[in-house]
Chain A
Amino acid sequence: MPLDHRRLRGPEESQPPTLWAAAAAEDEEDEEGAGAAARDPCALRPLFARAGLLSQAQGSAYVELGSGTKVLCAAWGPREAAEPGPGRLICEFRRAPFAGRGARGRPGAAAEREAEREAAAALREALEPAVRLGRYPRARLAVSALLLQDGGSALAAAVSAAALALADAGVEMYDLAVGCALCRPPAPAASWMLQPAEPEERRAAARLTLALLPALNQVSAVLGGGRGGPPEDWAQALRLGLDGCHRQYPVLRQSLLRAAQRRRSTPPS
């Protein structure tokens, strides 16, 4: 049978070359890690937040952190649902296939979908205490977050963006939910760090993500795991995270005010 020269059949499964270059890459990363240890653990990275940028969604927000995390979030106001009862909040979290630093995650893979569903459930737990669902009976509020680039603290940025998008859509809320992430490096007596970058998060021994309603001083979500130690260490991490949330709150409020001013000044088309 003649060979088929027209079709080049590549391998069925592809892998990134960085997996085999691990030895060389690790030396580089150790040097990077030593340089990053000089970073102040309580320093917040610069935050950019803008609300009201998508024309097709009722509310939208874009949050970018200094470490490179970019999250775009869209929200749709109350739509009638068939089931009776108080309003429901439906959250969705998607990762762009090119978002991660390592291999391209196949978008339909089961592991990806699992991680997305877990993040969506965490997002919903963080936002539910903030939204006045009792004011929207028989209604469905939808929020969809898209992670464009993962530079660490992705879930925390998604929580802030989703709260901004809901507020931009005009949904009644008790307060904005502000998210903050922390991590603890594997060194024995290391202290917790605010808003880790992606390499720090990957090598961390313990991670914690918080969501806070700053004006009411109520914690709406806590999600953490790893080798944290006694409760005193976790309490210290919580306090640091709460402080970080309080510091980010004015930036998010400013972005909402600016979006409202923009909407008022441009005539409706």
Chain B
Amino acid sequence: MEGGQEGGQEGWMDGRRAGRRAGRMDGRQEGRKAGRKRALRRCGREAAGMASVVLSEAEKLYIVHGVQEDLRVDGRGCEDYRCAEVETDVVSNTSGSARVKLGETDILVGIKAEMGTPKLEKPDEGYLEFFVDCSSNSPELEGRGGEELGTDIANTLYRVFSCENSVDLKSLCINPKEHCWVLYVDVLLLECGGNIFDAISIAVKAALFNTRIPKVRVLEDEEGTKEIELSDDPYDCIRLSVDEVPCIVTLSKIGYRHVVDATLQEEACSLASLLISVTSKGAITSMRKVGKGSLDPESIFEMMETGQRVGKSLHIALQKILDEEENLGTSRPKTEIPS
């Protein structure tokens, strides 16, 4: 059973160039439908903070019973991910970017490296800043609702990357105590189709892999004026090592079992989920329970084991795709805007 699952998962990650027409039109229509039933579903939206779907009791029962038998609505097993597409280097104005489509969920991450002053407590390290924008998802998430969800995701990302050795921050230092690189990671939630944390962490890892930071030297004259010297070769740059960057795995508890990569419908049936961030070596760097239900301690232990297993295979598949994208190099066809 183990071997079959591993084999199945290796084939699912695709680096195909997706059609540029994203599913934004469908997202808007869903938002309008949900808006009409706003009065009934407000409780669900308050609790989850995300765009929610309307499900009848019979549909919920169908999903719960199916999960008990290890059969989900789209035919997956409890530990299978949906078909995912990962592209890097999609926005040329950034230092690194990535776009991930996990089923219906669509995430775009852009990283800009800028020079700044290091923090007082860590004078010889650079740092990362996360910003998440959810307003393009549905009319419900414009304004305050989207901002709350955005800060929630940003705080989770800060906690996931709070482990010291996830990103080599010392390589981001230019002059200790004076100059360092600050990586501004901007996440755009284009469409929410369930399981946004996983997709965002995959996109952030892909964007960090793709980031190219120019090599800079800051020279100081006798008078004290600082001069910034950029190397002439545009391909001479610092690349970040993403071996220790963790990926988030969300395990949602439905009935007596837990599922990985829940769709919006499955999230509506689940009262509690556990977010675990796993590195490629199987170490867990952060844990958080979300949802308004409670969890049994035994199920938490089971979820951690599943999360570690699933996380490791996720990292293997993602690294394979990233290496393939890297080898495409400049021969990759870039879309041209017709003049």
- A interface with B by C-beta (< 8 Å): 15, 19, 83-86, 88, 114, 117-118, 121, 125, 128-130, 208, 213, 216-231, 234-235, 238-239, 242
Contacts and interface: CB of A to CB of B under 8 A. Distances in A.
Given A230-B282, A230-B283, A231-B308, A225 B163 contact: yes
Interface of B: 39, 42-43, 46, 120, 151-152, 155, 159-160, 162-165, 272, 274, 282-297, 300-301, 304-305, 307-308
Most buried by B among A221, A222, A223: A222
Contacts of B162: 225-226
A227 B165 contact: yes
A224 B162 CA distance: 11
A238 B165 CA distance: 23
A86 B289 contact: no
Interface of A, helix, strand, loop or mixed by DSSP: mixed
A128 B283 CA distance: 30
A261 B272 CA distance: 37
Contacts of B274: 222
Nearest to A231: B304
B46 A88 contact: yes
Contacts of A118: 155
Nearest to A222: B289
13 contacts: A19-B120, A83-B42, A88-B46, A217-B296, A219-B289, A220-B295, A222-B287, A225-B285, A225-B286, A230-B308, A231-B308, A234-B284, A234-B304
Contact of B43 (A86, A208, A216, A223): A86
Given A218-B295, A223-B287, A224-B288, 9 more contacts: A19-B120, A83-B42, A86-B43, A129-B292, A219-B289, A222-B295, A227-B283, A227-B285, A231-B308
Nearest to B120: A19
A225 B159 contact: yes
Contacts of B120: 15, 19
A121 B308 CA distance: 26
Contact of A213 (B46, B152, B272, B294): B294
A227 B163 contact: yes
Most buried by A among B46, B274, B289: B289
B190 to A, nearest CB: 24
Contacts of B43: 85-86
B292 A228 contact: no
Nearest to B293: A129
Nearest to A131: B292
A219 to B, nearest CB: 5
A46 B291 CA distance: 32
Contacts of B46: 85, 88
A220 B294 contact: yes
A228 B284 contact: yes
A234 B282 CA distance: 12
